[in-house]
Copies of this chain bind each other. A is one copy, B any other.
Amino acid sequence: MIDFRSDNTGRAAPEILDALVRSNSGTALGYGADDWTVQLQDRFSELFEIQVRVFPVATGTAANALSLAAIAPSWGNVFCSAAAHINTSEANAAGFFGGGLKLAPVAGEHGKVDGDALAQTLAGFPPGQLHRGQPAAVSLTQASDLGAVYRLDEVRAVAEIAKARGLHTHMDGARLANALARLQCSPADLSWRSGIDILSFGATKNGGALCDAIVVFKPELADGLAVQLRRAGQVWSKMRFASAQLMAYIEDGLWLRLATASNRAAARIAGGIAGTPGLKLVAPVEANEIFLELPSGVMDALEADGFQFYRRSTTLARFVCRFDVTDSEADALVASLKRHCAPSARAAE
């Protein structure tokens, strides 16, 4: 079997588990008062070229929902793509941690929020109206849930429209490293310099093991968030084991190497199938995911060939590349796709 199901089916990078094991010496204060977590603040502040507060959390869902709860009141609306993970896949965690806040979809291509569409949506919420909730924040998924990547100017355009209306901005960076590897820009450029207030910093999908993080760029948000994280059961008493993972993740550019590898595999597949009749990409392949419209017969045939992937609908297949996908695995998928999508194969099905 060759696994293209998800980046969360994969192994952790050994460097990360090594660091976790190494942190198991001596005693250390609980709940984030340990040396590792203190050091983590400095490392992330260097990485983002500004003083940040970074909070390790167990999952990306926790990072997203608690970030949104920190920037929106419970009677607020958070605007996002209809395809956003927070909207489709997190069991309404944002609505829960946000005390009833509502996710409000905004149009846009390839799983991205479009600036003009956001402006138009906001126009439908005149100041002082009570009935539809209060516009409060916008959330961008970078890379998007359809495998596309916001350019810096796109992030800035959305953030400007948001700020003009007094909205906060959140970035769901479950695949932040993949976006950075694509854009070849700095973490600072992609986040606060482009107007982002708070960031879900993903590690798990890119070779991490048991933690992601929240990175806070607006200091006034951090103290309240710290208490809410404790209350949410997201503050490990032995926090060092989480912080050590996160430090290893960014050490010497590990995270970018891992993301570059998974992006490259996806690009290799996309390049390999380019021009094949009957193969339609739903969005440009800019990170490590490939979304293809495929007849279900072709999906059956791929599975029969030993490929694992997710069927998002009867006609939509998703293939995700982990950091350790090999060239031969990528090439095998290309070959299989081409074979089953060739007109003669299609006619025979």
Give A22-41 as 1s and 0s: 1 = Cβ < 8 Å from B's Cβ atoms: 00111111110000000000
The complex places the Cα of A57 from the Cα of B211 at a distance, in Å, of 12
Indicate if A95 sits at the interface (CB-CB under 8 A). yes
Q: Which residues on the B side are within 8 Å of A63 (C-beta)?
A: 233
The complex places the Cα of A224 from the Cα of B130 at a distance, in Å, of 9
Give the contacting residue for A131; candidates B9, B60, B91; CB below 8 A. B91
Min CB gap A161→B, angstroms: 21
CB atoms of B224 and A134 under 8 A apart: yes
Indicate if A62 sits at the interface (CB-CB under 8 A). yes
Min CB gap A240→B, angstroms: 9
Q: Which residues on the B side are within 8 Å of A28 (C-beta)?
A: 9
Q: Which residues on the B side are within 8 Å of A31 (C-beta)?
A: 8, 130-131
Centre residue among A89, A204, A228 by max chain B CB count within 10 A:
A228
Q: Which residues on the B side are within 8 Å of A97 (C-beta)?
A: 100, 233
Interface residues in A1-55 (C-beta closer than 8 Å to B): 3, 5-6, 8-12, 14, 17, 20-21, 24-31
- Majority SS at the chain A contact face: loop
Indicate if A101 sits at the interface (CB-CB under 8 A). yes
Could you jot down 28 A-B contacts, CB within 8 Å? A9-B27, A11-B24, A24-B209, A59-B234, A61-B231, A61-B233, A66-B233, A73-B228, A74-B99, A91-B130, A91-B227, A91-B230, A93-B100, A93-B231, A93-B232, A95-B100, A95-B102, A96-B100, A97-B233, A99-B100, A128-B223, A130-B226, A133-B227, A134-B223, A204-B236, A204-B237, A209-B238, A210-B241
Query: Which residue numbers of A lie inside 8 Å of B, CB to CB?
Result: 3, 5-6, 8-12, 14, 17, 20-21, 24-31, 57-63, 65-66, 73-75, 77, 88-93, 95-102, 128, 130-134, 204-205, 208-211, 223-224, 226-238, 241-242, 322
Q: Which 6 A-B pairs have the closest CB atoms?
A: A62-B233, A96-B100, A8-B237, A130-B230, A91-B231, A58-B58
